[in-house]
Amino acid sequence: MEESYIDAVIEDSRAKMAKAVEHTRSEFASIRTGRAAPALVEKLRVEYYGSEVPMQQLAGIQVPEAKLMVITPYDKGSLKSIEKAIMNSDLGVNPNNDGSVIRLSFPPLTEERRREMVKVAHHKAEEGRVSVRNVRRSARKDLEALEKDGEISSDELDRAEKDLERVTHEYTTEIDRDLQHKEEELLAV
């Protein structure tokens, strides 16, 4: 009976930690590496008829070449709003609007800009690790409450906390591995 309480808490934590890792990966995808990628702009918030909408809902995004991205709005009236959102973002590219599509030409990254992007990646990784540790803290409180209520013994609590620590380490290591990969990608010339 007690094992099922512990298993439920750890499985719930595992699912939440996996979401934190997935979110961190999507954050890494939005960091510019010198190549055009739809992930750089698809989550940009665009002012559209009074509400903020993600770019991917307003336009088709193609990458015909490594350094070029073409954004084709589904509604031509949103062209100016999309252009404004790109200019206000931290992408560091100027949109080229020809009246029907927006072209983004990505210049090669300078060494200084690459280093800035690595710092951004480290910051996003730390946010991911903090999220994972917050899930661990919450799970610990749940486990301690189970012990306090007499649902599990102190030995079972110790075992469960060790399992929780192992799971936490597993997910933070995954974030570190993704960070290392992103850093190599950013620093490759």
Question: 3-class DSSP state for residue 76?
Answer: helix
- Give me the pLDDT at residue 187, please: 84
Query: Which parts of 46-153 fold into alpha helices (H)?
Result: 79-88, 111-148
DSSP state of 101: -
> For position 67, what pLDDT does the model report?
84
Q: Which two tokens stand for residue 57?
A: 């809902």
Q: Which of 86, 76, 39, 151 is nearest to 160 (CA)?
A: 151
Q: Options 3.10.20.30, 3.40.1010.20, 3.40.1190.20, 3.30.1360.40; which CATH number does 38-105 get?
A: 3.30.1360.40
- Residue 94 CB partners (closer than 8 Å, separation 6+): 87
Amino acid at 85: A
**pLDDT score for 3:** 65
DSSP 13-59: HHHHHHHHHHHHHHHHHTS--SS--GGGTTT-EEEETTEEEEGGGTE
pLDDT of residue 130: 96
Helix (H) or strand (E) holding 72: strand 68-73
* pLDDT given at position 1: 44
The residue type of 37 is A
What pLDDT, on a 0 to 100 scale, did the predictor assign at position 173?
Answer: 97
**Residues constituting the chain:** 189
Residue type present at position 150? G
Q: What is the mean pLDDT of each run of 10 residues along the chain (189 residues)?
A: 79 95 90 78 87 90 88 90 86 85 85 86 95 96 91 90 96 96 85
Spell out the domain ranges in the chain: 2-29+110-187, 38-105
CATH superfamily membership of 2-29+110-187: Ribosome-recycling factor (1.10.132.20)
